Amino acid sequence: MSVKSALHLYMTVSRWEFLPAVSVGVLIGIFLGAESIQYLFSSEFVLYLAEGILIFLLLFNVGFMVNCWADWKIDELYKTKLYLAVMRMGRSKLGIMVTIHIAVAILLASHLTMAIGRPEIIILVWIGTFLGVAYSVEPFRFKRRGALHSIIALPIFFIPGVYSYFLVSDLPIDAPYTYMFLLLAAGITIGHYALILVSQAEDYPDDKKMGLYTPPVNWGLRKTLYVSFMSNLLGSIVIVVVLMLMFLTINVWLLVLTPLIVVGRYLSMRNVYDLHKISFEKSSDVDLLEEIRKKMSKYPMWHAYGLSGITISALFILVFKSLEWIVPVLNF
């Protein structure tokens, strides 16, 4: 097998098409946690930053590789591209790659924890690794256990951002600013898991045939869309309020970014609300499923809209801190 073919197989089972979206959470954590741009790229820290990003990439790949390893029979029926990649690579070889990735990530995280003195790093790596593997693998296999499916939101949305925050921040875990960041991360997790629920609703018939008790299979399509809309709304409210508070701890002028955040959250929520409203009009699951699938072509944009205002706001906070334009209205 050529190097090019091997790399293509690796990228396929690692689902690199999802990497840009998940990486946004890491950027938000870095932008909000770092004391300045100068510090991030300083000679004493830049190598630790690179090491931390490498750990994230290794564990990102692990989550998707494990899913391909565990679901190869299901993928033969519904995700042929992934099934063929696993068969060409060899399931045993894929399992060895997963083990190596985890071992290297834990070794690097142990070194990084000792080097920068942040035990949160290794703790988050252990938790994220367990959840990423247990989501797909028996005896846990959270993906088929109804409400426990929501656990996947932690390694996708919550842990990457919190991990990168502690990677670059020198604030203690009990600092008010850290509390605000953790609340923001929770809001993002709730709001964007809501979108995953819609994606799961699209797979409702196939999951039901395979005995995967995902939320749509357990709750039905209409309840899933209702929970999705309400979760998106709750997460969006938390995000807007917390970011406004964070602005006031840096500089009141940052509040001009608030409309950008609100518009982004609205655009993220609009399609979910439309589907929730349509669910009252459609008498059958078949018709409702057709409406869901019509909208899924723009699904990646739902995440992009919701995260864009947050990411831009986080970058501006970092810029203001770097330029020392810190004139807090709120002092905790």
Extract the tokens encoding 148: 């426990």
Quote the CA–CA distance of 193 and 147 in Å, as a whole number: 12
pLDDT at 14: 84
Extract the tokens encoding 185: 């991360």
Average pLDDT for residues 110-133, to the nearest whole number? 95
Tell whether 146 and 238 lie within a shared domain. Answer: no
Domain count for the chain: 2
pLDDT at 17: 75
Given a contact cutoff of 8 angstroms between Cβ atoms, the answer to whether 239 and 314 are in contact is no
pLDDT at 147: 66
261, 263, 189, 300 alpha-carbon torsion, rounded to 10°: -120
Q: Where does residue 172 rank: exposed (0-12), middle (13-18), buried (19+ CB within 10 A)?
A: exposed
Cross-strand pairs, 213: 145
Reported as a pLDDT band with limits 50, 70 and 90, residue 155 is confident
Domain stop point among 124, 139, 170: 170
Tell whether 199 and 149 lie within a shared domain. Answer: no
Q: What is the pLDDT of residues 281-324, one digit of tens each?
A: 887 888 888 888 888 888 888 888 999 999 999 999 999 999 99
What's the whole-number average pLDDT of the chain? 89
Reported as a pLDDT band with limits 50, 70 and 90, residue 145 is low
pTM reported for the whole predicted model: 0.92
Tell whether 54 and 120 lie within a shared domain. Answer: yes
Residues 6+ apart with CB under 8 A from 64: 13, 14, 15, 18
Tell whether 6 and 126 lie within a shared domain. Answer: yes
Tell whether 202 and 319 lie within a shared domain. Answer: yes
Task: Decide which of 6 and 131 is more confident.
Answer: 131
Quote the CA–CA distance of 196 and 201 in Å, as a whole number: 9
Range of the domain at 81: 1-170
Tell whether 188 and 113 lie within a shared domain. Answer: no
Quote the CA–CA distance of 63 and 150 in Å, as a whole number: 15
Tell whether 136 and 214 lie within a shared domain. Answer: no
Task: Decide which of 249 and 144 is more confident.
Answer: 249
Average pLDDT for residues 244-248, to the nearest whole number? 97
